[in-house]
């Protein structure tokens, strides 16, 4: 007999229905309650070891604390109840750890303040989460390199202001995407030393409770946790975490740009690319013909949501004096949600781009729908040496009006003008009105982007 339980989740992050659309199992696990409390314990144990190493607490006490402080022994229900009363989870945790450690319990949390433990635990979470994002970006860049190589010379219409402008190649477009994520990979590497740092400074950030041993303990704690040592106390200097979430906003913003391109190019009127086919994916409940770009839609939604959290993190930087009265709490919302959303968006991007269906024939067809007008600039520039730039512009302008008003192609309109045939035969006219012959340095830009990417 199957036991049915009523789903109780109320957000997309924990929802049975939506959690895998907006996040990944790995990132949810990194920011789960269990993982967070484990990090609190890790910090408390590392603190005891660090203090024993520099002679602040007895070595045997630190050994007992390290041995007995086990998350499996935590009773989460009373911890939840006490957290609701206290407002923070560290005092409830310390009460339980003290009980586990017997006489050695008197040395648990020695010289620390609640925010020391919580900030350092989150620094550990963010460090590990950035490692995961780093891997995702590297994998996505590999996919974009492959697309750029494959479509280096695949001509398509380049569009500005949603209008056909000049020919480009699809590889040129994906190389631009690649370069964005090359920069994000570099930004992430530059960010990590600024955010993966220990916070241990005591009640007002001065390490007063440890006398002349404060810096020694701080350095030893950082070594235990493989974190950096901060220049100063950062209880109210929140630029590191704010930078991390704003980097996620940049990453998901780039994914939103890619998603927008894919969604428009996948519309029936364009029909140039499609997300990978999976039976039933993107289906409509009423229109059987529909094939909605689901991954792109989720990427775009994530970009919008993380942007909001990035703003919240910047707002939370405005903190009063040496310990804040409320902005700190906003981080508890923004940091986990932003990392979960970013990981989900990267997962969707790897799926969509890894199996992207590119219709090169449709790209060629769309490139020709302007009947050659898309390369009017090319014709003007080739005629200019014979007629002068302005006269060439006027000649081509008149030919374009003929196409728009009377039909035919730009090549045909040009071939009917003596000012043109005086300098170009029909073969030359056909060649200079072929969009594939006016790609500029797009293919070479692809080569350069791929070469530079390989160095990162």
Instruction: Measure CA of the first residue to CA of the last residue in the chain; give whole Å.
Output: 55
Buried b (16+ CB within 10 A) or exposed e, 321-355: eeebeebbebbeebbbbbbbbbbbbbbbbbbbbee
Contacts made by residues 65-72, CB under 8 angstroms, sequence distance 24+:
65/97, 65/101, 65/104, 65/105, 65/107, 65/108, 68/97, 68/100, 68/101, 68/102, 68/104, 69/41, 69/44, 69/45, 69/97, 69/100, 69/101, 69/108, 70/41, 70/100, 71/34, 71/37, 71/38, 71/41
Contacts of 251 (CB under 8 A, 6+ apart): 133, 137, 181, 184, 342, 345, 346
| pLDDT for position 165 | 87
Given this model, what pLDDT does residue 288 score? 43
Q: Which of 119, 250, 112 is nearest to 196 (CA)?
A: 119
Question: What CA–CA distance (Å, rounded) separates 299 from 351?
Answer: 11
161 is catalytic: yes
Given a contact cutoff of 8 angstroms between Cβ atoms, the answer to whether 195 and 130 are in contact is yes
Closest CA to 164 of 423, 435, 398, 394: 435
Q: Is the dihedral of CA 72, 75, 81, 83 positive or negative?
A: negative
| pTM for the full predicted model | 0.91
Helices (H), 289-326: 294-316
- Among 313, 192, 180, 321, smallest CA distance to 253 is for 180
In angstroms, the CA 317 to CA 149 distance is 43
- Given the residues 284, 329, 365, 423, the one annotated as active site: 284
Give pLDDT, residue 284: 47
Rg (CA), the chain: 30
Domains of the chain, start order:
20-107 (1.10.275.10), 121-197+234-366 (1.20.200.10), 368-453 (1.10.40.30)
d(CA 273, CA 363): 9
Pair 20, 29: CB distance under 8 Å: no
Active-site annotation holder among 10, 161, 285, 406: 161
Instruction: HSE, CB side, 13 Å, CA atoms: give it for residue 259.
Output: 26
Cβ-contact 248, 255 below 8 angstroms: no
pLDDT means per 10 residues, the chain with 456 residues, are 67 86 93 95 96 94 94 93 92 94 93 94 97 97 97 95 92 98 97 95 90 94 96 93 97 97 94 82 48 90 96 92 86 95 96 95 93 88 90 90 90 89 90 90 96 94
Is 379 within 8 Å of 396 (Cβ atoms)? yes
């Amino acid at each position: 007999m199957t036991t049915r339980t009523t789903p109780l989740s109320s957000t997309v992050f924990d929802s049975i229905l939506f959690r895998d659309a907006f996040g990944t199992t790995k990132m949810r696990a990194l920011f789960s309650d269990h993982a967070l409390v484990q990090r609190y314990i890790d910090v408390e144990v590392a603190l005891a070891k660090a203090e024993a190493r520099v002679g602040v607490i007895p070595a045997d006490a630190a050994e007992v604390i390290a041995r007995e402080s086990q998350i499996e022994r935590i009773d989460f229900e009373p911890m939840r109840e006490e957290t609701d009363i206290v407002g923070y989870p560290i005092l409830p945790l310390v009460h339980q750890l003290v009980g586990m450690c017997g006489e050695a319990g008197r040395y648990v949390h020695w010289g620390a303040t609640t925010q020391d433990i919580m900030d350092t635990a989150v620094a550990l979470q963010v460090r590990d989460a950035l490692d995961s994002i780093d891997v995702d970006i590297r994998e996505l860049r590999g996919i974009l390199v492959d697309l750029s190589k494959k479509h280096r010379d695949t001509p398509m219409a380049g569009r500005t202001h949603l209008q056909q402008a000049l020919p480009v190649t699809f590889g040129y477009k994906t190389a631009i995407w690649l370069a964005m994520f090359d920069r994000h990979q570099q930004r992430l590497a530059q960010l990590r030393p600024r955010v993966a740092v220990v916070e241990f400074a005591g009640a007002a950030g001065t390490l007063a409770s440890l006398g002349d041993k404060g810096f020694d303990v701080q350095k030893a704690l950082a070594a235990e946790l493989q974190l950096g040592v901060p220049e100063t106390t950062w209880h109210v200097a929140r630029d590191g975490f704010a930078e991390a979430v704003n980097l996620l906003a940049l990453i998901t913003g780039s994914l939103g740009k890619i998603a927008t391109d894919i969604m428009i190019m996948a519309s029936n009127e364009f029909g140039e690319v499609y997300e990978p086919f999976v039976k039933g994916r993107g289906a409509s409940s009423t229109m059987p013909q529909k094939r909605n770009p689901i991954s792109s839609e989720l990427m775009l939604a994530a970009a919008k949501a993380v942007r909001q959290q990035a703003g919240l993190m910047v707002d939370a930087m405005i903190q009063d004096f040496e310990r804040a009265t409320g902005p700190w709490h906003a981080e508890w919302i923004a940091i986990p949600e932003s990392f979960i959303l970013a990981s989900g968006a990267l997962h969707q991007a790897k799926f969509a781009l890894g199996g992207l269906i590119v219709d090169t024939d449709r790209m060629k067809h769309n490139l020709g729908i302007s009947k050659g007008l898309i390369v009017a600039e090319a014709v003007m520039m080739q005629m200019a040496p014979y007629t002068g730039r302005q006269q060439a512009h006027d000649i081509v302008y008149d030919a374009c009006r003929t196409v728009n008003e009377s039909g035919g192609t730009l090549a045909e309109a040009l071939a009917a003008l003596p000012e043109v045939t005086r300098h170009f035969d029909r073969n030359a006219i056909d060649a200079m009105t072929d969009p594939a012959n006016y790609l500029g340095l797009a293919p070479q830009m692809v080569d350069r982007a791929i070469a530079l990417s390989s160095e990162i």
